[in-house]
Amino acid sequence: ILVALLSPVLWLLGLWPPLVFACLASACLAVLFLRARPKGFVVFAGCLFKDKGGEGSEELSRVEGIHVLQLNVTNDDDLRNALTYVKENLPPRGLWGIVNNAGVSNYGKVEWMSLDAFKWAAEVNLWGPIRARVVNVASVLGRMGAAQRGAYVLTKHGLEGLSDCLRYEMRRFGVHVCVIEPGNFVAATKILTEDWVMKVAEEMWDGMDAEVKSDYGKEDFDRTLQLQLSFCQSGLKDRTPVIRAMTSALTDSHPLPRYQATTLYYRVRCFVATHLPEIVYEVLYERFRL
């Protein structure tokens, strides 16, 4: 997995809308990088596993004009080193855009999960993006809730709100802040794997209070586990909708505040969640499981 973030170079260097695009991004964004090069963009790619010879970083390092950096958004040393490198290698025309797609996913009912599980999700999904600018990748789950996804939903709602605040604050400088809201791309990104789901399940059950175990029961826990295992192969395998949305957010003269990169199902579900009475959403998607 590639995980990306660029420290606040835009403000530290005092560079406003130039003609060269510098970006750090992750996961499906390797495709974006490869498409960006023919447009003449210079790309700074932050990779979580560059120091371990990650496949994505190896592929990107072979492309001229792409600078591959070791970058873990929870590691201050990585952030400082990335900032220094970008300062020293930024093109003369400066910085144009930044894509932040740092993200992790876990699962479990709220009472099942430890505080550390929530903190871990927030450290990457929420606190990391606070140091980034321009294009933040949230999720359709930043617009609605979902059972068993409490920690993930918490961080994506937080990122949506943060991006709105940043958009209002940066408008005076002519800086656009966009949010990408992907739907279900688990099959494409492998953000959840069967091995990972089993590992989380074991740790979650072992760390759960006896009273909570008694209240929910092992049968409920096992049912939730099977649901998450089935979810590992779900969703779209084609990342094109996300790449198209990110490209538009970076290159359009008048970018939208939000881009939904998802199927019609999730577009409708988001609309119901945000525009209709809560009871309508609960009846359709919780009671009848549409």
Q: Which residues pair with 70 in a beta bridge?
A: 47
Could you tell me the sign of the dihedral formed by the alpha carbons of 155, 158, 162, 164, in that order?
positive
In a domain, 2, yes or no: no
Please report the pLDDT score of residue 231 as a whole number: 92
Read off the pLDDT of residues 200-244 as tens digits, 9 standing for 90 and up.
999 999 999 999 999 999 999 999 999 999 999 999 999 889 888
Q: Which has more pLDDT, 136 or 18?
A: 136
Stated pTM of the model: 0.81
Is residue 194, in this structure, part of any structural domain at all? no
pLDDT band at 33 (very low <50, low <70, confident <90, very high): low
73 belongs to a structural domain: yes
**Averaged pLDDT of the chain:** 82
pLDDT band at 196 (very low <50, low <70, confident <90, very high): very high
Catalytic annotation present for 259: no
pLDDT at site 268: 96
pLDDT digits (tens, 9 = 90+) for 140-187: 999 999 999 999 999 999 999 999 999 999 888 788 899 999 999 999
3-class DSSP assignment, residue 30? helix
17 pLDDT more than 80 = no
Length of the chain: 290
- Confidence category of residue 14, pLDDT binned at 50, 70, 90: very low
Rounded to the nearest angstrom, the gap between the alpha carbon of residue 138 and the centroid of all alpha carbons in its chain is: 5
Say how many C-beta atoms besides its own lie within 10 A of residue 26's C-beta: 26
Domain count, the chain: 1
Paired tokens of 146: 């979902």
Structure tokens at 203: 């740790």
| pLDDT tier, 37 (very low <50, low <70, confident <90, very high otherwise) | low
Using alpha carbons only, what angle is made at residue 133 by residues 122 and 162, rounded to the nearest 5 degrees? 50
Residue 276: domain span: 9-104+114-189+237-287
> Regarding beta strands 43-47 and 66-70, do their DSSP bridges make them parallel or antiparallel, or are they unpaired?
parallel
More confident residue, 236 or 288: 236
Phi, psi of 157 (to 5 degrees): -65, -40
3-class DSSP assignment, residue 87: helix
In a domain, 125, yes or no: yes
Residue 74, domain member (yes or no): yes
261 pairs with which residues across the strands? 182
Q: Is the pLDDT of residue 10 over 70?
A: no
Residues 6+ apart with CB under 8 A from 59: 30
The phi and psi torsions of 76 (rounded to 5 degrees) equal -65, -35
| Helix 240-251 / helix 29-36 crossing angle, nearest 10 deg | 50
**Residue 56 forms part of a structural domain:** yes
Please tell me the chain's helix, strand, coil percentages from 3-state DSSP, rounded to the nearest 5: 55, 10, 35
pLDDT at 44: 82
pLDDT of 4:
35
Distance of CA 134 to the CA centre of its chain: 13
* Summary count for the chain: helices (H), strands (E): 12, 6
For residue 61, the model assigns a pLDDT of 79
Choice among 85, 107, 152, 285 that is catalytic: 152
Residue 18's alpha-carbon distances to 59, 136, 204, in angstroms, are: 28, 20, 48
Kindly state whether residue 221 falls inside one of the protein's structural domains: no
Q: Write out pLDDT tens, residues 50-95.
A: 777 776 778 777 877 788 888 887 888 988 998 899 889 887 777 7
Mean pLDDT of 249-269: 92
Place of tokens 């709602």: 157
Report whether pLDDT(277) > 90. Answer: yes
Would you say residue 43 has pLDDT above 90?
Answer: no
Q: What is the pLDDT of residue 39?
A: 62
Q: Which residues lie across from 182 on neighbouring strands?
A: 261
**H/E element, 67:** strand 66-70
Model pLDDT, residue 153: 95
What's the chain's Rg over C-alpha atoms? 20
- Residue 275 belongs to some domain of the structure: yes
**CATH number of the domain bearing residue 152:** 3.40.50.720
Higher pLDDT, 269 or 68: 269
